[in-house]
Amino acid sequence: GAVVSQHPSRVICKSGTSVKIECRSLDFQATTMFWYRQFPKQSLMLMATSNEGSKATYEQGVEKDKFLINHASLTLSTLTVTSAHPEDSSFYICSARPGWNTEAFFGQGTRLTVV
Amino acid sequence: KNQVEQSPQSLIILEGKNCTLQCNYTVSPFSNLRWYKQDTGRGPVSLTIMTFSENTKSNGRYTATLDADTKQSSLHITASQLSDSASYICVVSGYRGSQGNLIFGKGTKLSVKP
């Protein structure tokens, strides 16, 4: 199956700093990438939908100025958590799919801890 | 409201035993239903995907069923192994605007004990 690589897998940062998470589709071009957040024992919550070359669409309640998404190429999307706070600590997962209703492939996730 | 409900929330079984996980959904219009396995601290991995016309689909020891009339699905695991310990997530794809959207269940946490 297709591979989606997410980096880093774990990151610890100080409160107030920014953290960038990368999501790459390794063997296909992803017109659409998704960013999710998952708190312990909870399901994945969609944060935003990212289409290559256009602005991301954010879900209600997700601050677009805090969670900056860039989808500059068909194989790379980045999520930057700006001015991170301890409450931003969570498991962030991206997914990518080749077409609008095709299979979605998930990255391995990034565990963010803000101290 | 589009929702996906899974049961049980958690399940403990002995190695070698079979088990069945349930998924009920109210997503409309419906496109497809997927089962994912998520190991702790990892991203979900697809097990099966079914459209409304498919009643059953197997992937090794995993067999998923779908009843589009009652909007129910199940995932049956045969001859469980310790490596089956994970969260199993039911995901239903609907339509939103010009794109499909995924509605996630909260998952069933399966623990297989020796």
pLDDT digit string (tens) for A11-42?
Answer: 999 999 999 999 999 989 988 899 999 998 88
pLDDT value at residue A1: 63
- Sign of the torsion formed by the C-alpha atoms of A52, A54, A58 and A63: positive
Range with the lowest mean pLDDT among A2-6, A102-106, B31-35?
A102-106
Range with the lowest mean pLDDT among A44-58, B47-61, B74-88?
A44-58
pLDDT value at residue B98: 43
Query: Is A42 within 8 Å of B106 when comparing Cβ atoms?
Result: yes
Q: Which amino acid is at A106?
A: F
Q: How confident is the model at residue A97 (pLDDT cuts 50, 70, 90)?
A: confident
Whether B96 has its CB under 8 Å from any CB of chain A: the answer is no
Q: What value does the mean pLDDT take over residues A69-97?
A: 93
Statement: residue B99 has pLDDT above 60: no
Closest residue by Cα to residue B74 from B94, B100, B95, B48: B48
Query: pLDDT tens, B11-44?
Result: 999 999 999 999 999 988 888 899 999 998 899 9
Indicate which of B10, B50, B104 best probes the interface with A, i.e. most A CBs within 10 Å of its own CB: B104
Residues of A in contact with B100 (CB under 8 A): 100-101
How much of chain B exceeds pLDDT 70, in percent? 95
What one-character-per-residue DSSP string does A29-56 give? --SEEEEEEE-TT---EEEEEEETTSPP
What one-character-per-residue DSSP string does A73-110 give? ETTEEEEEE-S--GGG-EEEEEEEESSTTS--EE---E
Whats the size of chain B, residue-wise?
Answer: 114
Query: Is B89 within 8 Å of A93 when comparing Cβ atoms?
Result: no
Nearest Cα of chain A lies from the Cα of B59 at a distance, in angstroms, of: 14
Q: What value does the mean pLDDT take over residues B76-103?
A: 84
The two three-digit tokens of residue B41, written as one number: 């601290």
Which of A45, A93, A100 lies nearest to residue B43, judging by beta carbons? A93
Statement: residue B1 has pLDDT above 90: no
Could you give the CA distance from residue A107 to residue A89 in angstroms, rounded to a whole number? 18
The two three-digit tokens of residue B33, written as one number: 């239903």
Indicate which of A43, A110, A112 best probes the interface with B, i.e. most B CBs within 10 Å of its own CB: A43
Nearest Cα of chain B lies from the Cα of A2 at a distance, in angstroms, of: 11
Q: Which amino acid is at A53?
A: G
Place of tokens 């001859």: B79
In a 3-state reduction of DSSP, which class is residue A58?
Answer: strand
Place of tokens 């605007």: B97
Could you give the CA distance from residue B41 to residue A110 in angstroms, rounded to a whole number? 8
Nearest Cα of chain B lies from the Cα of A44 at a distance, in angstroms, of: 7
Of B98 and A102, the structure prediction assigns the larger pLDDT to A102
pLDDT value at residue B32: 87
Could you give the CA distance from residue B67 to residue A3 in angstroms, rounded to a whole number? 31
Range with the lowest mean pLDDT among A53-62, A82-91, B80-89?
A53-62
Statement: residue A91 has pLDDT above 50: yes
Whether B93 has its CB under 8 Å from any CB of chain A: the answer is yes
